[in-house]
Structure 1
Amino acid sequence: MDAAPTSTTLAGPPGRPSKGWHRFANPGRFLRLTDRLLPWLWGLALVALVGGGLWGLVWSPPDWQQGETVRILYVHVPMAWLAMGGYVALGALSVISLVWRHPLADIAARELSPVGALVGALCLASGSIWGRPMWGTWWVWDARLTSVLVLFFFWAGHAALSRAFEDPERGGRAAAILALAGLVNLPIVKFSVDWWNTLHQPASVTRLAAPGLHVDILYPLLACTVAFSLLFAAVVLARVRAAVMERRVRSLEMAAARRLDTAS
């Protein structure tokens, strides 16, 4: 089962040497790698989620102004970071797909975007829940919230467009172009609180010299971020693995059907 694929679907451009990331175009090699990696990733994610969740939601103190509602921070902020960081990964996969035509890049981008869209939706939902007691409203059309909503639309648009064509390659190319266009929105999301007056607070954690959060809140926030990041990586890698296996089985079925047609 670990032999080279019988179809060029995952084999990459003909004649290209199997070097660098192109060696993972061999589905057998990729599946062997994920066989070893995924159990550790799931285990680390579970341990980190339990530890980070207890630290943030149970053991950390309430905020002196926001009280217990500050605990939404431990979900909302990691979701926001993952929505942005994941989109950077989507942009990188799109470049690899368009420039080098790496077969796994299309598959990875296709499986990444639904997870990214879910993360973006959780960011918006948790922010809305947090905004209601803090701002007195569920939603305002300020720069930060609107740009994050646009980011969610790019995530969802990529997920839909990559599946909108019968030919996966056409869908992958169209979705990759859309993903690259969406990269323009990331600086707007990041610097919107600096460029415009918004209800959203400015950066608190990325000011490394003087972070705006007390360590009693900062450390569990970072722990929750690591936990959600590990879970995000595990889910995406598991989806990519399942997609590779599905394409490989389909390729073997098509090869078997061709042999039967030839024999008959």
Structure 2
Amino acid sequence: MSLLLNVSLLNLHALANPARFLKIARPLTPVLFWTGMLLVAIGCWAGLTQTPPDYLQGETVRILYIHVPAAWLGMGGWSGIALSSITLLVWRHPLAAVAARAIALPGAVFAALCLVTGSIWGRPTWGTWWQWDGRLTSMLLLFFVYCAYMALARADADRGGDGRVPALFGLAGTVLLPVIRYSVIWWNTLHQGPSIGLTRSTIDSAILWPLPIMVAGFSFLFGAIVLMRMRGLLAVAKTEARMRRMARI
């Protein structure tokens, strides 16, 4: 077990070199992007034309093909920030702070997309665009926490910080994830309970089957965006370092 851990750590630190990371990220980015685009296109086609309307919600049920992946990736993005924060604080991995900053924006976008699609879905289902229940409120708080993290990370980078303050904030923000996940169980809310579990689903398979395709497609797109942003942040850091060297000459 310890041997496997040592090998994993060696592989992790091998990617700490930006040149090694970029050597992998450059060809991987278009693969993830176009695979994601293809899967999203297939998922949209299947969800819009190959599945029946719900017997209660009618055609509005098709919003789930966007809403559910957006919710999962909004939460998954913050999980990525938390893992990057742990990597920075424990192992001082040079790319950990870059990864966390790269994840924050697409994570915030998906959290916002979750809120928007949820409001659109809620209008015909609940009769209102917004309800201050546990799931919606906690997801809104996660979006605000994303915005606060981006502002804090940018301020830390501008003052030449080592990234530990944003990393601590990234870990603290994880308390929202179980609240979002279990809010529909802990409190009596308008939002429906858990629909998809490890062993069963309350959604009919005739409606459900395009959802994994959409989740996979958006996940690939999320990964491609993160890699593009990491490459951009590394390019900016390289340019700034070069400018500082030239200023000293």
TM-score, normalising length: structure 2? 0.91
Structure 1 contact 205–218 (Cα < 8 Å) conserved: no
Deviation of residue 129 (structure 1)? 0.7
Task: Return the alpha-carbon distance in structure 2 between the equivalents of residues 22 and 210 of structure 1.
Answer: 40
The CA deviation string for residues 125-183 of structure 1, in whole angstroms up to 9 with x for no partner, is: 1101110110001111111111111111111111111012322435x222211111111
Structure 1 distance, partners of 2:111, 2:135, is: 13
- CA deviation digits over 1:45-89, x for unaligned, max 9? 121111111111222211111111111111111100011111111
Counterparts of 1:138-217 in structure 2, within 5 Å, are 138-165=129-156, 166-170=158-162, 172-206=163-197, 208-217=198-207
1:44 aligns to what?
A: 35
Counterpart amino acid of 1:215? S
Structure with more helix by fraction: 2
Specify the alignment match of 1:30 in structure 2: 21
Q: Secondary structure at the match of 2:108?
A: helix
Specify the SS of the correspondent of 1:123. helix
1:245 paired to 2:235: yes
Could you list the runs of 5+ residues in structure 1 that have no partner in the other structure? Answer: 1-17
User: How many residues were matched structurally?
Assistant: 240
Q: How does 1:1-264 map to 2 (within 5 A)?
A: 19-165=10-156, 166-170=158-162, 172-206=163-197, 208-258=198-248, 261=249
Residue identity (%): 47
The runs of 5 or more residues in structure 2 that have no matched partner are 1-8
What is the TM-score when the length of structure 1 is the normalising length? Answer: 0.86
1:154–1:178 Cα contact (<8 Å) kept: no
Distance, in Å, in 2 between the alignment partners of 1:186 and 1:125 is 19
CA shift at 1:249, angstroms?
A: 2.8
Distance 1:138 1:26, change over 3 A: same
Distance 2:118 2:160 in 1: 35
RMSD over equivalenced CA pairs, Å: 1.5
Q: Distance in 2 between matches of 1:144 and 1:129?
A: 15
